[in-house]
Amino acid sequence: MLMTTKPMFDLAYAGGFGVGAFNVNNMEITQGIIEACAKEKSPCILQISKGARKYANIRFLRRIIDACVEEYPNVPIAIHCDHGDTLDLIKACIADGYTSVMIDGSHHDFEHNIKLTADAVKIAHAAGVVVEAELGMLGGIEEDVVGLDAHEYEKNVEKFLTDPEQARDFYARTNIDSLAVAIGTSHGAFKFKHEPKLAFDRIEKIMKTCPGLPLVMHGSSSVPKEFIDLINKHGGNMPGTMGVPEEQIAKAVRQYGVCKVNIDTDLRLAMTAKIREVFATKPTEFDPRNYLGPARDAIVTMVQRKLQMLNSAGKADAIIAHWKKQGEPMPEVYGAKV
């Protein structure tokens, strides 16, 4: 069932769970994510980045997601623009039927970020679409998102974290629906040289200065060792990779106001690891179904594990009931009522 993130976050904030936001780039990734969510009876946010729009053509991606909505009517689904950087892109995403957008002005100075975000909110809210913004800086690189140098970020992480007082001002002046905060996470697979420790004290302060505001964790892939080992075993070269420990992510969503957790790198690693394994163990294989199929299965298993970690498994029915009670308008899928 297609909806905005608001009914999800309404229950997640007080209910001690987070909604997984998974980046989609093709049919197999999307199928794997939605199948896992259906099995676990979990809500999900399907994120589309600017790079994914370019790679897959948004018309194709949207129709794949439309098929998910039709095939799995009991799964709450939001379609989200990941790291939108211009108002033109935000307008395009709204026109393409997204139910949620992110405007990322975190690389601008504070006042510019506020102005850009407030303008995006006006545009999106007029169309019934919710808005996520970002305050603070993350490290690492992923697609078009170039954060701080990972080594510099890890050494000086404290000075790049979201400031709670700035967050209060930002929230009041923009009317955003959720805020991506810098709390010690980083983009990409090569995040850290040492195990990170999330700044839970910073999250707690932001919750006090911005009561009720759903918080978002970017750069939250855990870079599972089993995928790295499988990739390296079959011809890869990914040494020194380390992600955010799952127990720290679980603590953030179960004890604090983190309602949305972005996961992209782990999807890529699961898919790549399984494809490499098939090619290495079956060198005569040339049928895409016989390597993309196992890759999709690997994504299903991995996403199920994430949903359990996020404590969102089993929450789908309650979210749908809350959505119906709140009377949120029925979204349109290319002109057809869902």
Q: What pairs with residue 260 in β-bridges?
A: 19, 216
CA distance 55 to 64: 14
Q: Whose structure tokens read 């039709």?
A: 70
Please report, for residues 75, 106, 107, 239, 240, the alpha-carbon distance to residue 152 in angstroms, rounded to integers and kept in the order given: 41, 18, 16, 19, 16
- Catalytic, 119? Answer no
Contact of 50 with 25, CB cutoff 8 Å = no
| Cβ within 8 Å of residue 43, ≥6 positions away | 8, 19, 37, 75, 76, 77, 78, 312, 315, 316, 319
Tokens matching residue 299:
């994504």
**From the CB of residue 217, how many other CB atoms can be counted at a distance below 10 Å?**
28
Contact of 290 with 319, CB cutoff 8 Å = no
CA distance 115 to 118: 5
Kindly name the residue from 82, 104, 177, 266 that is annotated as catalytic: 82
**From the CB of residue 20, how many other CB atoms can be counted at a distance below 10 Å?**
27
For strands 130-135 and 178-181, give the pairing. parallel
For strands 178-181 and 145-146, give the pairing. unpaired
Residue type, 228: I
CA distance 169 to 210: 9
Residues tagged active-site: 82
